[in-house]
């Protein structure tokens, strides 16, 4: 039981490049989330998926897109990376809206 896995662990992009961050969970959870963590700002929600087939914007969705590929997988895409997107990205999942979230190990992204 791997929990929540994320790939890659580290990535460096040039401004304007695109990439997709992958997230998968093997706990049969319904809801999945993408957050970014920046110094002094805690965790900010980018997008979430309450259940398979649905996605919704969070607090900071601009510049990102998501795909809930199936119940296990939830990917985050940066179409044209900007230096402001330099951050640590965490994926999380939960059974339902009132339960604890399980977090992946994070992806550290640097955009130059």
Partner 1 sequence: GNSVTQMEGPVTLSEEAFLTINCTYTATGYPSLFWYVQYPGEGLQLLLKATKADDKGSNKGFEATYRKETTSFHLEKGSVQVSDSAVYFCALSSTSGTYKYIFGTGTRLKVLA
**For residues 92 and 88, what is the distance between their CA atoms, to the nearest angstrom?**
13
Chain centroid to CA 52: 15
67 vs 101 by CB, closer to partner 1: 101
Chain centroid to CA 39: 17
Does 53 engage in binding with partner 1 (CB under 8 A)? no
Residue from 25, 31, 87, 93 in contact with partner 1 (CB under 8 A)? 31
Does 60 engage in binding with partner 1 (CB under 8 A)? no
- Spell out the SS3 assignment of 67-92: EECCCCEEEEEECCCCHHHCEEEEEE
Q: How many residues touch partner 1 (CB under 8 A)?
A: 27
List the x/- string, 74-103, binding to partner 1 by CB under 8 A.
Answer: ----------------x-x-x-xxxxxxxx
Residue from 50, 55, 63, 73 in contact with partner 1 (CB under 8 A)? 50
Does 1 engage in binding with partner 1 (CB under 8 A)? no
Residue 4: exposure state from Cβ atoms within 10 A (0-12, 13-18, ≥19): buried
Closest CA to 108 of 24, 17, 11, 6: 11
Residues within the interface to partner 1 (CB under 8 A):
4, 31, 33, 35, 40-43, 45, 48, 50, 56, 58, 90, 92, 94, 96-106
């Amino acid at each position: 039981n791997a929990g929540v896995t994320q790939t890659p662990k580290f990535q460096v992009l040039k401004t304007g490049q695109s990439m997709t961050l992958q997230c998968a969970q093997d706990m049969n959870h319904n809801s999945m989330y993408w957050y970014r963590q920046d110094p002094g700002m805690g965790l900010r929600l980018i997008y979430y998926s309450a259940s398979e087939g649905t996605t919704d914007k969070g607090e900071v969705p601009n510049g990102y897109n998501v795909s809930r590929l199936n119940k296990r997988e939830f990917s985050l895409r940066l179409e044209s990376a900007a230096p402001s997107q330099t951050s640590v990205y965490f994926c999380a999942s939960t059974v339902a809206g009132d339960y604890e979230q399980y977090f992946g190990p994070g992806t550290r992204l640097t955009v130059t």
